[in-house]
Structure 1
Amino acid sequence: MKLANLIGERFKETPSDCIIESHALMLRGGYMKYVANGIYSSLPPLRRITKKIEQIIREEMDALDGQEVQFPVVLPASLWQESGRYESVGSELLRLKDRNGSPLVLGMTHEEAAVQLVRDYGSTYSRYPFMIYQIQTKFRDEARPRAGLIRVREFTMKDAYSFHTSTEDLEAYYLRCHRAYERIFARAGIPEVLSVASDSGMMGGSLSHEFMLLTPAGEDSIVLCSSCGYRANMEAAECITQNCTDAVPEPLTPVETPDIHTIEELCSFLEITAAGTCKAVVYQKNRDDSYVVLFLRGDLDVNETKLTNHLGEEVHPALIREDSGLQAGFIGPCGLDGSFTVLFDRSLEGALNLACGANREGFHYTGLCMQRDCPDALYHDFAKAVEGGICPVCGKHTLTISRGIEVGNIFQLGSKYTRAMHMQYTDAEGVSHYPVMGCYGIGVGRLAASVCEARHDGSGPIWPVTIAPWQVHLCCMRSDNRKVRETADKLYDGLQKAGIEVLYDDRNVSAGIMFSDADLLGIPVRLIMSPRNLKENCVEMTLRRDKTDTGRYSMEEIIPRVEEKINELMAELQPES
């Protein structure tokens, strides 16, 4: 491929709406073009990268005995109605109707389609286990698309679905998929990806893991233990607290607190810390707008995923009306009267001498003792883990919070979908059972952007050779010099005949422009043909990741040297068996 003919523009300026480096570099480098909010077109360099990622994924899925299929992008709503998700999933699911008024959805995930495809095939135990997968376009109507390809509305994803006759078989296959994912990310150039326990969310199921690339640009918060290696997404991380239980209980005493509405104001007024308070956070259920009042220690925040999982339904921050029976800014657990769902975080269990709202305008209590004053309280984990918190595995105060990008996920779904959609098989004794499922996803575009986020410098991406758009970038300096041009042309032909992917820049432009474009394209091996090199009968070879790693080789030996270097770079990315 000649750079002069490559569709796309490269430019120096960073677009103003780019909040992370990968987004800026992939726009500046001519990888993609904005179409609409959360929707991009892929230009040739990005398409070449994603095709290589897809091939890596295919090889690893095929090694797991996976069989590639393809589901429709547009699905009848009836499939989602069968599973119950047509009503339960929110506005992320794009619903529409065809010209006949039949309801349809744009697939954002394909569990229902997978079950429908193999429902008849999987009617007998002798056909299990099996796994099907696809690499397909999906649409999720994200409320806040951001960060380029990291969070979009239209995206390409590999999703796989395995079917088993026992939980034990599913668990064994789940581990095989876990190892395959580690291989995929290592081969794509980011072996540092971590597997963390996660919340199953709308997918359902008993166990799930996310594969996270730790980076400040990430959207997710990851809880890590530096002592024992515990790892979990913030949504799933357990929050463990300790309360002082040997203090002398104080009487519950009303205190006038004029114009004090927040925990910060209360702490300043009473000269106490937030850990010495009990705060109320109020939500309303989406279904009927009824109030949910959650009490927790004042130094903690609510983990809304834990809350919605406990309730079994979605909630939203409350709008507290005058007739609600709630005294905003003064809500407390003692004397709270009304038809509310009242919940207690376990950070309050056994707590003594806390300050809390008195359910009266302008008043708080001091001396709240949970066991004495709220003897019927039931405690659950509703809080977010905190930096320096207690690890739920080793019990040490060694938790840290990092940011990360989710590059893949795997779920043990169990029989949620097969049961809802009446998929059964008959065992050897003629007894009917519901098969159990696993599902396994990787966003292809997001993975490409994540590699760019992890592998770049101030000048552009540094693509790993396994997914780079081309393996070699040949720069012809002074293409107006006939001998230089002829020699570079000959090298270009020789590289192609050797089966090497090469991008050839034979434009008559300055060295600054040529090398700037080369940096933005991030191709791992760079060859430079110039009048000086021609005079010395050699070609200069350098690496994009380390421009000090250079060498000059004769025309006779340059192609073998390039092949050798590519093989070395490939070998670096081969994961251990």
Structure 2
Amino acid sequence: MKASRFFIGTLKEAPADAEIVSHKLMMRAGIIRRVAGGIYDYMPIGLRSIRKVEAIVREEMNRAGALELLMPAVQPAELWQESGRWEQYGPELLRFKDRHERDFVMGPTHEEVVTDIARREIKSYRQLPVNFYQIQTKFRDEIRPRFGVMRGREFIMKDAYSFDKDAAGLAESYRKMYDAYVRIFTRIGLKFRAVAADNGSIGGSGSHEFHVIAETGEDDIAYCPDSDFAANVEAADALPLIAKRAAPTEELKKTPTPGAAKCEAVAQLLNIPLERTIKSIILATDNEGAEPTIWLLMLRGDHSLNDIKTGKLPGLKGYRFATEAEIVEWFGTPPGYLGPIGTKKPVRVIADRTVANMSDFVVGTNEVDFHTTGVNWGRDLPEPEVADIRNVVAGDPSPDGKGTLEICRGIEVGHVFQLGTKYSDSMGATFLDENGKPAPMLMGCYGVGITRVLGAAIEQNFDERGIIWPEAIAPFEVVICPMGYDRSDAVREQADKLYASLQAAGIDVILDDRGERPGVMFADWELIGVPHRVVIGDRGLKEGKLEYQGRRDAEATLLAVEEAADIVTGKVRAALGK
């Protein structure tokens, strides 16, 4: 490719609405252009990287035995009503009517459509296992699209769906996809972790997220440096920090705490560690035709509630935070001094695992400006329901017993789920087993955010000059920058010769023949992030030298003209592991 026949749309400044590094650099490098909130044009230079990501994904999916198909972006509402997600999915599901007033959705995912394919096409166990995949545009109507491609509304995704006859088959399909994802992100050249995760709106049983490690990541990842344990914080098991409850040593006492409505203020006022205080979180679940159930969740003062774990507890699905009026009705006081002792009306009490093993702790008295100290289970309070309801923090014991946890930030770029029979049951996707009896297919689903990979790669690979693409997905592998291409016959001849040699070697190379000043050329290609640059000038040619510099190199090195093509080709292939 020659730059004069390509479109290069670099900008000196990023738009004001670009908040994070990847968004700013993708706009400045001419990779994307905004059409509407969360919707972008992918310009020629961006599409080249997208196609390279897709090629790696396709190769590894095919290697794992998956079969490519293409499903429609527009899906009939009937399929979503069958699965139950028409009501469950929420406003992110873009719904519309056609000219005949029939309901449709713009697909955010394709579980319903692929299950419909399976129930129509798969009749016998002899046709299983099978894994269908596609690379296609999705649409999720995010309430607040932001961060460029990291949280857009329209995006390109690879989604795959496996169908098996039994649990052992599903486990094997899941393993194949997990291994394929490890190969995909390794080949792309990203630093990543596979972490245990929550299934969210997709449903099913086990799942893993694949996170690119980056400081700007939206998710907190808990991991153990001494083992293979890693999990999204929302799914990480929080073990009790106290092994055994100690016997009481203090008497129960109503203690004045004027103005101390938060645990931190209580601890400071009473001159005690924050870890001895308890925060009370009041939730409500609605009951049709009756008053709500009020729940009091007890966490140690320095811990935070995990809403994902909480929503999975029996009776708490669809919970909400109690209103102030409800709190006053059940506890007799506004928020700030709430506790489990002496409530006005009965409440359900759930203690976190650590809280359940505490003794001589401090809770609210349900009276403004007072707390109760020296509180103990059994003596002052009935034994509570106990559950894991908190977020893990750095220093917590690892759930695998092999060390302590650390926390890092991650950007989710892939997710694999074991769905089981969630969709096959609701949509009647059955097959005839070896005994001729109908049985539901066991499903898995596996997604990679193709366009999100671009943003994640940039968040992990950039400097003050611009993007530093991993070689495997760079829009070009090598850029040739001739000094005075339009003025010097010697420079033009050598640039064209090197360009032809690299092309013949299979290198994805661009020759900047625009005749721009060196500073402009260098700034453009450093911003765009091409991994390898060769500079050709009259002065160097007189000495038989060209100048090479890798995008991460602090300084350039000189190469002999006759060896340049072979050396640059070797560097590219080495970086790609070829």
Q: TM-score, normalised by structure 1?
A: 0.93
C-alpha contact (below 8 Å) 1:462/1:522 kept by paired residues: yes
Residue in structure 1 matching 2:317, options 301, 313, 316 = 313
C-alpha contact (below 8 Å) 2:197/2:209 kept by paired residues: yes
| Aligned mates of 1:33, 1:283 — CA distance in 2 | 44
Q: Give the AA of the match of 1:522.
A: G
Cα deviation digits, residues 351-381 of structure 1 (max 9, x gap): 2111111223333211211233332421000
Q: Give the AA of the match of 2:330.
A: G
Residue 372 of structure 2 corresponds to residue 365 of structure 1: yes
3-state SS of paired residue (1:123): coil
Tell me whether 35-44 or 511-520 shows the greater mean CA deviation: 35-44
Instruction: From the superposition, tell whether residues 16 and 361 of structure 1 become closer, same or farther in structure 2 (CA, over 3 Å).
Output: same
Match of 1:217 in 2: 216
| Aligned mates of 1:387, 1:494 — CA distance in 2 | 53
| Aligned mates of 2:495, 2:264 — CA distance in 1 | 69
Superposed displacement of residue 50, structure 1? 0.7
| Aligned mates of 1:149, 1:287 — CA distance in 2 | 41
C-alpha contact (below 8 Å) 1:350/1:369 kept by paired residues: no
Aligned length: 569
C-alpha contact (below 8 Å) 1:350/1:371 kept by paired residues: no
Match of 1:156 in 2: 156
| Aligned mates of 2:366, 2:359 — CA distance in 1 | 19
| Aligned mates of 1:155, 1:292 — CA distance in 2 | 40
Q: Give the AA of the match of 2:323.
A: L
Match of 2:407 in 1: 401
Tell me whether 533-542 or 459-468 shows the greater mean CA deviation: 533-542
Which sections of structure 1, spanning at least 5 residues, go unmatched? none
Tell me whether 123-132 or 197-206 shows the greater mean CA deviation: 197-206
3-state SS of paired residue (2:236): coil
Instruction: From the superposition, tell whether residues 291 and 17 of structure 1 become closer, same or farther in structure 2 (CA, over 3 Å).
Output: farther
Superposed displacement of residue 496, structure 1? 3.9
Cα deviation digits, residues 31-87 of structure 1 (max 9, x gap): 111222222211111100010100110011111111111111121121111111111
Residue in structure 2 matching 1:297, options 297, 300, 303 = 300
C-alpha contact (below 8 Å) 2:248/2:376 kept by paired residues: no
The Cα RMSD (Å) is 2.2
| Aligned mates of 1:545, 1:143 — CA distance in 2 | 38
Match of 1:105 in 2: 105
Superposed displacement of residue 271, structure 1? 1.9
| Aligned mates of 2:474, 2:383 — CA distance in 1 | 62
Cα deviation digits, residues 382-430 of structure 1 (max 9, x gap): 001011112221164x211111111111111111111111111111211
| Aligned mates of 1:46, 1:454 — CA distance in 2 | 17
3-state SS of paired residue (2:117): helix
Match of 2:441 in 1: 435
Match of 1:338 in 2: 345
Aligned sequence identity (%): 40
Match of 1:460 in 2: 466
Instruction: From the superposition, tell whether residues 395 and 527 of structure 1 become closer, same or farther in structure 2 (CA, over 3 Å).
Output: closer
Residue 472 of structure 2 corresponds to residue 469 of structure 1: no
Instruction: From the superposition, tell whether residues 24 and 249 of structure 1 become closer, same or farther in structure 2 (CA, over 3 Å).
Output: same
Which sections of structure 2, spanning at least 5 residues, go unmatched? none
Alignment map for 1:31-430 (pairs within 5 Å): 31-190=31-190, 192-243=191-242, 245-285=245-285, 291-310=294-313, 311=315, 313-321=317-325, 324-326=329-331, 327=333, 328-338=335-345, 340-394=347-401, 396=403, 398-430=404-436
Q: Give the AA of the match of 1:265.
A: A
Superposed displacement of residue 486, structure 1? 4.1
| Aligned mates of 2:142, 2:344 — CA distance in 1 | 39
Instruction: From the superposition, tell whether residues 257 and 567 of structure 1 become closer, same or farther in structure 2 (CA, over 3 Å).
Output: closer
Superposed displacement of residue 497, structure 1? 4.9
3-state SS of paired residue (1:222): strand
Residue 553 of structure 2 corresponds to residue 546 of structure 1: yes
Superposed displacement of residue 316, structure 1? 4.0
Superposed displacement of residue 565, structure 1? 3.0
C-alpha contact (below 8 Å) 2:502/2:569 kept by paired residues: no
Match of 2:22 in 1: 22
C-alpha contact (below 8 Å) 1:348/1:370 kept by paired residues: no
3-state SS of paired residue (1:254): strand
| Aligned mates of 2:398, 2:504 — CA distance in 1 | 58
Superposed displacement of residue 346, structure 1? 1.8
Instruction: From the superposition, tell whether residues 313 and 72 of structure 1 become closer, same or farther in structure 2 (CA, over 3 Å).
Output: farther
Tell me whether 430-439 or 497-506 shows the greater mean CA deviation: 497-506
Cα deviation digits, residues 289-312 of structure 1 (max 9, x gap): 764431222221000110112246
| Aligned mates of 2:119, 2:501 — CA distance in 1 | 53
3-state SS of paired residue (1:552): strand
Cα deviation digits, residues 300-352 of structure 1 (max 9, x gap): 10001101122463344443126642322122112224365543222221321
C-alpha contact (below 8 Å) 1:495/1:502 kept by paired residues: yes
Q: Give the AA of the match of 2:13.
A: E
C-alpha contact (below 8 Å) 1:209/1:409 kept by paired residues: yes
| Aligned mates of 1:180, 1:518 — CA distance in 2 | 32
Cα deviation digits, residues 555-577 of structure 1 (max 9, x gap): x5443444333322222xx6xxx
C-alpha contact (below 8 Å) 2:547/2:556 kept by paired residues: no
3-state SS of paired residue (2:392): coil
C-alpha contact (below 8 Å) 2:50/2:454 kept by paired residues: yes
Instruction: From the superposition, tell whether residues 485 and 227 of structure 1 become closer, same or farther in structure 2 (CA, over 3 Å).
Output: closer
Superposed displacement of residue 490, structure 1? 4.4
Superposed displacement of residue 489, structure 1? 3.5
Superposed displacement of residue 199, structure 1? 1.0
| Aligned mates of 1:375, 1:330 — CA distance in 2 | 20
Tell me whether 487-496 or 131-140 shows the greater mean CA deviation: 487-496
3-state SS of paired residue (1:526): strand
| Aligned mates of 1:251, 1:122 — CA distance in 2 | 69
Match of 1:531 in 2: 538
Instruction: From the superposition, tell whether residues 141 and 314 of structure 1 become closer, same or farther in structure 2 (CA, over 3 Å).
Output: farther
| Aligned mates of 1:348, 1:569 — CA distance in 2 | 52
Cα deviation digits, residues 482-509 of structure 1 (max 9, x gap): 4123443444345445543221212222
Superposed displacement of residue 526, structure 1? 1.7
Q: Give the AA of the match of 2:210.
A: F
3-state SS of paired residue (1:321): helix
Instruction: From the superposition, tell whether residues 385 and 435 of structure 1 become closer, same or farther in structure 2 (CA, over 3 Å).
Output: same
Instruction: From the superposition, tell whether residues 143 and 340 of structure 1 become closer, same or farther in structure 2 (CA, over 3 Å).
Output: farther
Instruction: From the superposition, tell whether residues 399 and 494 of structure 1 become closer, same or farther in structure 2 (CA, over 3 Å).
Output: closer
Cα deviation digits, residues 449-485 of structure 1 (max 9, x gap): 2112222222122222221111221112112324123
